[in-house]
Amino acid sequence: MSALALPDVFAAMVGREIRKLFGQLRRFLRFQREVLKTAPYVPLHPSFLVEQLYIIGITSIPLICITSTFTGMVFSWQMAYQLAGLAPDIYIGVAVGKSVMVELGPVLVSMVMCGRIGAAMCAELGTMAVTEQLDAMKCLNLSPYRYLLAPRVVAAMIMLPVLTIVASLISILSGWAVAWLGRDVPFDIFMKGVRMFYDDWDMTVGLIKSLASGYIIAIYACYFGYTTTNGAEGVGRSTKAAVVASMTSVLIAAFVLSEILL
């Protein structure tokens, strides 16, 4: 191959990748449109929604409790260490409350759910795809979007804010426990700090972020699971792609929403 041909080969490779990327984006947008079109029909089949609410929400509470407990403890300990001798102990509660409600709660829950629910959801749908169960539903005139995909997206959007509230409460309480054990900060002083600069909009922003994260996690898991091919190997690739894409998108969405809402 001559040196003059190398730029042409490189340009052709870049062009193929760009076309592939835009093709994937077009299919993803079309998939989202189909899911959103069938979302209003979810209440007509409440059993599918209730099942997903239980799987996404109730079964995730123990893990959320453990992770939020240690997150609150670590953050409170760091704040106590950084503020030692520089500010009154009441500001430990200020820092923990603000950070947990606006950022730590929503992002923590979203990261945990990306690995737990997003991966499980994608693997389940991917297995159904490669074993032709989704094709069987279509042959029976049953829409996978209506009975499988839309209920998962709606359930994730409902349960992520609920789990965020639980995680924020536990993080604040565990933060007080560490402040009390390490710096002997009374409960009323710590909570006075939490309430000192509290604004209802802080919690609202956190819930909006968790709502967006629920949609992102579920839509990526459903898309990569629904489009899985090539057997067990394809299931593994789809699961990895869903987790990576959802984690990255959740962090980007958190930044964008913070810029817009705060």
Taking the C-alpha atoms of residue 130 and residue 155, their distance in angstroms, rounded to an integer, is 24
Taking the C-alpha atoms of residue 255 and residue 188, their distance in angstroms, rounded to an integer, is 33
What's the domain count of the chain?
A: 1
Q: What angle do CA 43, 45, 51 make, to 5 degrees?
A: 100
Taking the C-alpha atoms of residue 167 and residue 61, their distance in angstroms, rounded to an integer, is 9
Residues whose CB falls within 8 Å of the CB of residue 43, separated by 6 or more in sequence, listed in order: 49
Residue 206: burial class (beta carbons within 10 Å; 0-12, 13-18, 19+): buried
**E-assigned strands of the chain?**
none
Give the pLDDT score at 125: 96
pLDDT for 182-200, tens place per residue?
888 899 999 998 988 888 8
Range of the domain at 134: 5-261
Give the pLDDT score at 3: 52
pTM, two decimal places: 0.91
Tokens matching residue 24: 């994937």
Tokens matching residue 170: 């536990």
Residues whose CB falls within 8 Å of the CB of residue 204, separated by 6 or more in sequence, listed in order: none
Of 225, 7, 43, give the one whose Cα is nearest residue 118. 225
Q: Which residues of the chain have pLDDT under 70?
A: 1-5
How many other CB atoms sit within 10 Å of the CB of residue 133?
A: 13
User: Residue 118 in contact with residue 213, Cβ under 8 Å?
Assistant: no
Tokens matching residue 7: 């730029």
